[in-house]
Every structure is written in structure tokens, then in C-alpha cells.
Amino acid sequence: MQARRAARELAFILFSQFDKTITNYTKDDLQDIILKSVRILTGNANDELKTALGSLIAMRDQVETYEAESDINLKRPIEAANIPVPLPMTSDLIGRINEMIDIAEKSILALEIAEFTTLDSQYDVKNYAIQIAEFFQKNHNEVDDLIQKYAKNWDLGRLVKMDKDILRIAIVELLYIKDAPMKVVVDEALELAKKYSTDDSASFINGILAKVIVEYGLN
């Protein structure tokens, strides 16, 4: 994972932890929330890996039972070792495998973010996440006004919070930090939407950002 991608993920998690007016947070508050967020990430990763381990054990037991109860092994002497048998790839088995792949990917991501945040060589990850938050603190009215302007038929207060936070991060990067290519910022916002929000969020976020880009002549 690239440092900036880790920083955006961390900023998204940071924004999700806000429970009061954004301007009330000090830099120390932001640092503290990041520390708590990393602890939450690693704790969730640990729990999810335990869940995956339980599913793997259940799958192993299921396969062993399937093998032992096959006709060829039921006819063998009790003391004889089972003979491997062909295993049909059922939809249930595929579903379990896909679930574990998803768990593993999220856990790896969480641990990578935690590693990037704590290593001295990747200190800029935490700083960049805080920079995003601080720029939003200073410009939150303008940023939210832009989102409201282009979210036609939507009241800002009724928007999915995850979508608002993803848009806030991307707009801050595009208009105030101006340190990453426009395409990278948009692509990363869409990835966050696909990963954390609803099925329709990516297209909604893409549409808002496209209008912001045109208005500010960033394309």
C-alpha cells in the first residue's frame, strides 16, 4: 500500500470518529483519535482473522466428513486411512471462500494502515491525514456548501455520512492541499466508496467531484 492511500484511509476513519463540531478539535485531539482508530483497526483485524480461522476449521471438518462418508471409504476397514475423493465445488463452499478472502483483504489493509502510521519512516501518513482534517476544519463551510450545491434533491444532513466524509476528503485534497494528481484523488475516493459505502455511492461521488473539477478548472 502506498503512503498516500494509507493516509486517505486513515483520514476517512478519522472523520468517521468525529462526534462534535469539527472546529472544536485540536491537533492533540486529532492525534488521539488517530491512535484510537489504529487500535480499533488492529482490534477488528484480529477479530476478523479469528472469524476466518473458525470458518477454515469448519470447512476442514466439512471436507473430512465428506471424505469419510463417501462410498469408497465407507466400504474400507475402520482402521484403514481414508482415500482422497473428488470434492464438488458447491456454491456454499465458494461463498465461504469468498467471505474469507474479503476478511483477509480487510485485515491486511487494517494492519498495513497501522504499520504505516506507526513506523517513523512513514510519519507522513499520519501527518497527511491530520493535514486533511485541519484543512477541512478551516474550510468546512465552503466544502459542505459545494457538496450541497451539487447534490441535487439531497439535503446535506440526509446524505450517507460515509459519502459526505469521502467527498470532504477529496474536495479538500483537490482545492486546498493540491498535492496529488486530480485523477489519483478521484480514483482513491471511488475506491473508498466501493469499500465502505453503498452500491450507488461511487457513481454519486464521481458525479459531485466531476462538477467540482469543472467549476474550478482542474481538468
| Secondary structure string (H, E, C) spanning 1-58 | CCHHHHHHHHHHHHHHCCCCCHHHCCHHHHHHHHHHHHHHHHHHHHHHHHHHHHHHHH
| Percent of residues, the chain, with pLDDT higher than 70 | 87
> Of 195, 208, 216, 215, which is closest to residue 159 (Cα–Cα)?
208
Confidence class for position 1, pLDDT limits 50, 70, 90: very low
pLDDT for residue 175 is more than 80: yes
pLDDT tens by residue, 89-145: 666 677 777 777 777 777 776 666 666 665 544 557 788 889 999 999 999 999 999
- Its sign, for the CA torsion 171, 174, 176, 177, is positive
- 165 pLDDT band, cuts 50/70/90, is very high
Q: Report pLDDT for 99.
A: 76
Give 26-54 pLDDT, tens digit per residue: 888 888 888 787 777 777 777 777 777 78
pTM for this entry: 0.70
> What are the structural domains, with CATH classification, of the chain?
3-215 (1.10.940.10)
